Amino acid sequence: MSQVTRSKRLIASVSSAVAAFAVGVAFWSLQRKHDTQSIVDLGYSQYQGVALESGTTQYLGIRYAAPPIGHLRFKKPAKPLQTTVVQDATAFRPVCLGAGADYPSSSHDEDCLFINVWRPTSATPGSTLPVWVYIQGGGYGGNYNANYNGSTVVATSGHEIVFVNFNYRVSSWGFLASEKVRADGDLNVGLLDQRLALEWVQEHISKFGGDPKKVVVHGVSAGAGSLALHLAAYGGRDDKLMRGAILESPFFPTQPKVADLEWQFDNFVNTTGCAGSSDELKCLRSKDTATLQAADVAIPYPSRIDTPRFYWTPTTDGDFIRNHPSKMFEDGSFVNVPLMIGDDTNEGTGFAVDATTPEEVGTFLQDNFPLLTIHDTAVINHQYPLMETLPQHGNYFPSAAAAYGDAVFSCPSHHLSLAFLTSKSPSQVWNYRYNVLQDDLVAAGLGVPHTSETPAIFGVGNTGIPDENSSYLTYNKNIVPVVMNYWISFVKSLDPNLLRHESAPEWEPFGRESQRRILLETNRTRMEDVPDDQRKKCELWKGLASTMEH
């Protein structure tokens, strides 16, 4: 399968997800019960939710910040505005504009800072229920996991948790970096959106029956990478935003300093027609949304050949992010909480170049990590030689996929597991590898790709992915209650074992020496050791981290 074909498939899946959300909203509206008790007063606004037949009440599209438009464009989020009439919270609102998103569109907008809450209908402000907050992914370039339906996990918990998810700014809207932005705006505003959402949970979740002292934050992909950055934010300052963390396939791309991203800012300014303006940021704020969205186009890093897989990423700003992730976690500059963390067997197959030679593997890695040298790529190629071929791909695609997956996902996850055990205040860590095979993905040569576990965590039909032929309804259905209940158990008790499904084995904690993790497979879930070969490869990537993060 060509990279273009894979990219089209990914774009199609996102488009299908948006369509599925619309269908889902229509379906949920049929489940509504007349309930005059579903109005919540947040102080700045009142919101009318809707009670479902499942015993869950949902509040969709609550503003947790003021619209980030006009003078607030490229600035940290502001508190939401006051309203005097009850606001409708019965349908999802637009998600944030990302690279390649159509505009104008009913599904995407610049005004996008909304949060969604699902609570047990029986919950009261005094219920003090555990809270599950979900940070979606999308490579910092899109809101790709937006508007997941939390009603199933609330119901499966015995109506004993509150579930929350939200949007945040991405691509140029969230991660435009320059000293000019620092001077008259804010850096990493997408992360600052997330931070405000977490603070909103602390301030308001009790009104939905949640306990702000019992918050577990779960991030996926870039959302998991973001969560790691929140734990290390401001030098590891503990703002008491969570008592536990779940990192699902954490994503760690390059994280350059501001000075190393001026070329990206200059290209954006040129494309928008603001180059040469006496105040380029003022000019950008004067442009309409469509103009800026059209200018959100990736180009290669200076002196490189092809565009990187992920163009907009956080920057090391010296304040919120004070160093590169590998250094912050190695130094213990982070908030240590109980941790669940893991990856999929084939993390890199959805992103790697369809390489036919080791030279193509090296070029691909340099296009994504431009400070890697020829010597570096030679060492990498030695560690990832020709592997068993995969259907519909070139001979060196498996090597490229394995190298990229280890570099960006699996090995950072491994290093984080060890960091949490060796810091000044070690917490318990549970590590996993997800290896549930789906026939169509195996036939396409993708194996068990990035974030494959998501439908098992939230339940089929709740993630916006077309599911009429889902293996989780047929031959993989038995893995769903196993995975979902591990996650719910951790949210409720900070231990995946206490409330695990009756068919699930005990999940042993990860140890610095033993390094055992759970292998999640349909009907064969069990513990395994992290192989020596993977440990060796992760040591390679650890040695290259300071080069790759720049």
Whole-angstrom CA distances from 400 to 302, 382, 488, 533, 541 are 22, 12, 35, 17, 14
Dist. CA 525–CA 369, nearest whole Å: 36
Dist. CA 218–CA 210, nearest whole Å: 16
Backbone region of residue 236 per phi and psi (left: phi > 0; alpha: psi in -120 to 50; beta: other values): left
What single letter denotes the amino acid at residue 29?
S
Positive or negative CA dihedral for 5, 7, 8, 13? positive
Q: Which residue has the tokens 């809101």?
A: 143
What three-state secondary structure class fits 513? coil
Note if the bond before 509 is cis, omega within 30 degrees: no
What single letter denotes the amino acid at residue 486?
Y
Q: Which residue has the tokens 């240590």?
A: 336
Pairing assessment for the beta strands 46-48 and 39-41 based on DSSP bridges: antiparallel
Beta-strand ranges (E) seen in 122-240 are: 129-135, 162-166, 210-220
Q: What is the CA radius of gyration of the chain?
A: 22
Phi, psi of 282 (to 5 degrees): -65, -40
Does residue 221 have an active-site annotation?
yes
Whole-angstrom CA distances from 240 to 65, 199, 215, 243, 335 are 20, 9, 9, 7, 9
DSSP H or E run through 225: helix 222-236
Dist. CA 453–CA 448, nearest whole Å: 9
Q: What residues are paired with 344 via a beta bridge? A: 434
Pairing assessment for the beta strands 114-120 and 56-63 based on DSSP bridges: antiparallel
Our CA angle for 242, 115, 125, nearest 5°, is 65
Q: Which residue has the tokens 């990206």?
A: 264
Count Cβ atoms within 10 A of the Cβ of residue 78 and give its class: 0-12 exposed, 13-18 middle, 19 or more buried: middle
Catalytic residue among 38, 107, 157, 221: 221
Instruction: Count other Cβ atoms within 10 Å, centred on residue 288.
Output: 10
Dist. CA 467–CA 440, nearest whole Å: 13
CA nearest to 543, candidates 302, 379, 337: 379
- Asked if 57 and 49 touch (Cβ cutoff 8 Å), the reply is yes
- Residues belonging to the active site: 221
